Structure 1
Amino acid sequence: MGTVRMTMAQALVRFLDNQYVCMDGCETKFVEGVAAIFGHGIVVGLGQALDENPGGLKVFQGKNEQGMAHMAASFAKQNKRRKIIACASSIGPGAANMITAAACATVNNIPLLVLPGDTFAIRQPDPVLQQVEQPNSLQTTTNDAFKPVCKYWDRVERPEQLMTAMINAMRVLTDPAEAGAVCVAVPQDVQGESYDYPDYFLRKRVHRIVRQSPAREELEDVASALMNSKRPLVICGGGVKYSEAGETLENFCERFNIPFAETQAGKSACRSSSPLCLGGVGVTGNLAANSIAWEADLILAVGSRLSDFTTSSKWLFRNPEVKVASINVSRFHAYKMDAVKAVGDAKAALEELTKLLSERKYRSSYGNEISVAKTEWNEEMKKLGSYSCRKDFQPMIAARNPGSMEEFAKMTGCALTQTAAICAVRKHIAEDAILVGASGSLPGDLQRMWTTDARDSYNMEYGYSCMGYEIAGALGAKLARPDREVYAVAGDGSFLMLHTELLTSIQEHQKINVLLFDNASFGCINNLQMSNGVGNLGTEFRFRDSGTGGLTGALIPVNYAAVAAGYGAKTYSVRNMDELEEALEDSKKQNVSTLIDLKVLPKTMTHDYLSWWHVGLASTAENEAEREAFENKEAHRAQARKY
Structure 2
Amino acid sequence: MSQSTRRLTVAQALVRFLSAQYTERDGVRRRLIAGTWGIFGHGNVAGIGQALLEAGEDAMPFHQGRNEQAMVHAAVGYARQLNRLSAQAVTTSIGPGATNLVTGAALATVNRLPVLLLPGDYFATRTADPLLQQLEHAVCADVSVNDALRPVSRYFDRINRPEALIPSALNAMRVLADPAETGAVTLALPQDVQAEAWDWPEGFFAERVWHVRRPSPEPAECHAAAQAVRAARRPLIVAGGGIHHSEAEEALKEFVDATGIPVASTQAGKGSLRHDHPADLGGIGHTGTAVSDEIARTADLVIGIGTRYTDFTTASSTLFAEPGVRFLNLNITSFDAYKMAATALVADARAGLHALIGALEGHRVDAAYEAEYAAGKERWERVVDAAYRAEDENAAPTQTQVLGALDAVVGDEDVVINAAGSLPGDLHRLWRARSPRQYHLEYGYSCMGYEIPGAIGVQLAAPGTPVWSLVGDGTYLMMPTEIVTAVQEGLPVNLVLLQNHGYASIGGLSEETGGERFGTAYRYRAADGSFTGDPLPVDLAANAASLGMDVIRAKTVRELRQALAAARASERPTCVYVETEATTPTAPGAEAWWDVPVAEVASREAAIRARETYDRHTPGRRRHL
TM range (shorter): over 0.9
CA RMSD between the two structures: 1.5
Q: CA deviation at 1:630?
A: 2.1
How do residues 227-238 of structure 1 correspond to structure 2 at under 5 angstroms? 227-238=230-241
Q: Secondary structure at the match of 1:368?
A: helix
Residue 627 of structure 1 corresponds to which residue in structure 2? 608
Query: Which residue does the alignment assign to 1:452?
Result: 433
> Hey, what does 1:285 align to over in structure 2?
288
- Worse-matched range after superposition: 567-576 or 622-631: 622-631
| More displaced stretch, 247-256 vs 595-604 | 595-604
Q: Which amino acid aligns with 1:623?
A: R
Question: Cα offset for 1:268?
Answer: 2.1
Confirm or deny: 8 A CA contact 1:414 1:599 kept in the other structure. Answer: no
In the alignment, which residue of structure 2 is the partner of 1:20?
Answer: 22
Structure 1 residue 553: Cα displacement: 1.8
Task: Give the letter for the 1:505 counterpart.
Answer: A
* Cα distance in 1 for residues equivalent to 2:153 and 2:117: 10
Question: Equivalent residue for 1:542?
Answer: 523
- Is 1:49 aligned to residue 30 of structure 2? no
1:364 CA displacement: 4.2
Distance 1:141 1:607, change over 3 A: farther
Q: Does 1:496 align with 2:498?
A: no
**How far 1:617 sits from its partner (Å)?**
1.1
1:559-578 matches, within 5 Å, as 559-578=539-558
Q: Distance in 1 between matches of 2:88 and 2:497?
A: 27
Match of 1:523 in 2: 504
Paired residues, number: 618
User: CA separation in 2, counterparts of 1:497 and 1:363?
Assistant: 48
Pairwise mapping of residues 270-281 of structure 1 onto structure 2 (< 5 A)? Answer: 270-281=273-284
- CA-to-partner distance for each residue in 1:502-559, whole Å, 9 max, x for gaps? 11011111110001111001000000010223222110101123x3223222111322
Deviations 1:63-86 (A, max 9, x none): 100111100011001010011110
Shift of 1:387: 5.0
In 1: Cα distance, 2:139 partner to 2:274 partner: 56
Cα drift, residue 388 of structure 1: 5.7
**Paired position in structure 2 for 1:404:** none
Kept in 2: contact 1:569–1:595 (CA 8 A)? yes
State how far apart, in whole Å, the 1-side matches of 2:498 and 2:352 are.
41
The CA distance in 1 between the partners of 2:182 and 2:123, in whole Å, is 30
Residues 560-599 of structure 1: pairs in structure 2 closer than 5 A: 560-599=540-579
8 Å Cα contact 2:16-2:59 kept in structure 1: no
Cα displacement (A) at 1:362: 4.6
**Does 2:342 align with 1:339?**
yes
Q: Summarize the alignment of residues 328-367 of structure 1 with structure 2, pairs less than 5 Å apart.
A: 328-358=331-361, 361-364=363-366, 366-367=369-370
Q: Is the 8 A contact 2:229 2:235 kept in 1?
A: yes
In the alignment, the residues of structure 2 paired with residue 388 and residue 319 of structure 1 have an alpha-carbon distance, to the nearest angstrom, of: 41
SS of structure 2 residue aligned to 1:493: helix
Cα separation, 1, equivalents of 2:290 and 2:538: 35
1-structure distance, mates of 2:616, 2:511: 20
In the alignment, which of 147, 151, 158 is matched to residue 148 of structure 1?
151
Post-superposition Cα deviations, 1:450-475, rounded to whole Å, max 9, x if no partner, equal 11322212211000000000000000
How is 1:388-427 mapped onto 2 (pairs within 5 angstroms)? Answer: 415-427=396-408
Matched, 1:208 2:230: no
Aligned counterparts of 2:578 and 2:343: Cα–Cα separation in 1: 46
Match of 1:610 in 2: 591
- CA drift of 1:136 comes to 2.0
Contact 2:514–2:598 (Cα < 8 Å) also in 1: no
Instruction: Report which stretch shifted further, 429-438 or 488-497.
Output: 429-438
The residue aligned with 1:33 is 35
Q: Does 1:77 align with 2:57?
A: no
Change (3 A) 1:31 1:605: farther
- Name the CA distance, whole Å, in 1 between partners of 2:371 and 2:236: 15
* Aligned partner of 2:468 among 487, 492, 496: 487
Deviation at 1:318, TM superposition (A): 2.1
SS of 2:45's equivalent in the other structure is coil
Q: Which consecutive segments of 4 or more residues in structure 1 shift more than 3 A?
A: 361-365
- CA distance, structure 2, for counterparts of residue 536 and residue 76 of structure 1: 37
The alpha-carbon deviation at position 627 of structure 1 amounts to 2.5
Aligned 8 A contact 2:234 2:365 in 1: no
How big is the shift at 1:367?
A: 3.9
Stretch of structure 1 that moved more, 110-119 or 550-559: 550-559
1:245 aligns with 2:248: yes
8 Å CA contact 2:108–2:115 kept in 1: the answer is yes
Maintained 8 Å contact 2:508/2:517:
no
Map 1:288-327 to 2 at 5 A: 288-327=291-330
- Post-superposition CA distance 1:46-96 (Å, at most 9, x none): 111111123521010001001111000110010100111100000001011
Secondary structure of the equivalent of 2:424?
A: helix
TM-score for both structures, normalised by structure 1? 0.94
The CA distance in 2 between the partners of 1:631 and 1:68, in whole Å, is 44
Shift in Å, 1:13: 0.4
Please state how far the C-alpha of 1:29 moved relative to its aligned partner.
1.5
Any conservation in 2 of the 1:388–1:415 contact (CA below 8 Å)? no
Separation in structure 1 between the aligned mates of residue 497 and residue 116 of structure 2, nearest angstrom: 30
Name the structure 1 match of 2:10. 8
Equivalent pair of 1:236/1:303 in contact (CA under 8 Å): yes
Distance in 2 (CA, whole Å) between partners of 1:154 and 1:559 is: 45
Overall identity of the aligned pairs, in %: 41
- Using structure 2 for the length normalisation, give the TM-score: 0.97
Distance 1:266 1:525 in 2: 24
The answer to whether the 8 A contact 1:213-1:348 is kept is yes
Q: Aligned partners of 1:2 and 1:634: how far apart in 2?
A: 72
Q: Is the aligned partner of 1:514 residue 2:495?
A: yes
Q: Name the structure 2 match of 1:435.
A: 416
Letter in 1 for 2:553: S
TM-superposed CA distance for 1:197, in Å, is: 1.1
